[in-house]
Structure 1
Amino acid sequence: MNSVQEKLYKGYAKAALKLGQQYDLYRPTAADYPVAPAQLVATVMASFNPQDMKYGSAGDYAKPGWYCLTDGRLTKVGDYLVNGAEVYFIAAQQLALPIDAVRCNRVATVTRPKQQSGAGAQGYGGSVVADEVALMTQWPCSILQGTKGEKTEANLPADIRSPWWAILLPAWPGVVLRSTDVITDDLGRRYTVSSAELTDRGWRLTAMQAQT
């Protein structure tokens, strides 16, 4: 870390002492349970603003991106900051720029349906929950409603559209998400991933809520 960056993070740390609250800092060490007690590495002061360093505006319920004021010398991309029900993950720490964080409103488990193999007559080929393989378990993330819905195949007059969702999730080394993966959140809702884009801020997913 260069001297300019270190001075910037020292300034963030001083501001957090005046503006912030205490947050538990978790650092995932596996693809399962990233905010388990064993992942706790420190307690830090932090303050969050809706990408407005002047603190002149309130957060927008449709925008999960926040700026984080904390001692960036202690945090890394992918870390979680937790204060009760308030949970954020660090999305980016770029040179001379604010620390980007994502506010989490759900906890998600990502699984992959079992792939059928063989030829000829086969048994049931649909997705069976018991056969799904867990990829990432119990990760806090952002799941917000998307901009559209999908008509059902029957398209009956009383049918409602199946909602689409925008999901932001930290990346984990060795885990590559793809279309048809399944996400289950802490409310029991299931989503089928339509597109998965790995960015320098983690995974950006679009998913359709599965009908039950």
Structure 2
Amino acid sequence: MDGTKLQAKIYKGYGQAAKRIGFDYQQFRATSASNPLSSTALQTLPASFTTNFSYSAPNKYGQATWLGLFDARTFTPGDFLVGRQGTFFIAAMQDTLPIYCVQTNRIVSVLRDQQDQSVGLGAYSGGTRATEAPLMQGWPASILQGTKGETNDAKLPLDVKTPWWAILMPAYPGIILRTSDIIRDELGRKYIISSAELTDMGWRITAMQAQV
């Protein structure tokens, strides 16, 4: 017995358990930076998601992460599972440890504003949809409330604080997100990235909601 064989046995055991308590999910893997769920599913398999393996506690508000129970021998971090409880992406498959998954609740596109760099008198240089170039399109992501927000500079009586959001999403090779990149979701909301941390579990982003 070595680490590789032990890992395979663990994942096979997860699969046996999922056959008894899980539901059918489809596995997807991104082949480009656009619409990773539009391709043909790699397979359908039973899977279950829990907060602990004793199945003794439900998930809570503001918590996107779950432990996945399924046969992960053909999976890699960044893969998606779509089924009964929604869409999850595989954040981490650490050696001999439980499979760390993120439940998504939004479909997002990441864009970068392409400003006119010409010299001299130019056109309006503020950000508009026409100047936004897509980096990633149609990606499932988790967007949950972050801090309480910030008061704007005007501080008028009826002004509300600008909300901040915590965003988790898979990384795609060759694409690096940066401060001031734009995220738009299927609800029409616009977010401006304040910080983007690339981890071995994907992107962990802090973003401010902006007017559309």
State the TM-score, normalized to the length of structure 2.
0.96
**Contact map agreement 2:115 2:131 (CA 8 A) in 1:** no
**Contact map agreement 2:195 2:207 (CA 8 A) in 1:** yes
**Contact map agreement 2:103 2:142 (CA 8 A) in 1:** yes
CA shift digits 1:115-149 (9 cap, x unpaired): 33133333211101022110000101100010220
1:29 maps to 31
Q: What is the 5 A alignment of 1:98-137?
A: 98-137=98-137
**Contact map agreement 1:13 1:70 (CA 8 A) in 2:** yes
After TM superposition, give the deviation of residue 109 of structure 1 in Å.
0.5
**Contact map agreement 1:27 1:39 (CA 8 A) in 2:** no
- The structure 2 residue matched to 1:14, chosen from 12, 16, 28, is 16
1:155 maps to 155
1:41 maps to 42
SS in 1 for 2:88: strand
SS in 2 for 1:148: coil
After TM superposition, give the deviation of residue 40 of structure 1 in Å.
1.2
Partners of 1:130 and 1:44 in 2: CA distance: 42
Gaps of 5+ in 2: none
Equivalenced residues, count: 210
SS in 1 for 2:54: coil
| CA root-mean-square deviation | 1.2
* Sequence identity (%): 47
1:5 maps to 7
Partners of 2:84 and 2:37 in 1: CA distance: 12
1:96 maps to 96
**Contact map agreement 1:12 1:70 (CA 8 A) in 2:** yes
Read off the aligned partner of 1:159 and give its amino acid letter. D
Following TM superposition, where does structure 1 have runs of at least 4 consecutive aligned residues deviating by more than 6 angstroms?
none
**Contact map agreement 1:162 1:211 (CA 8 A) in 2:** no
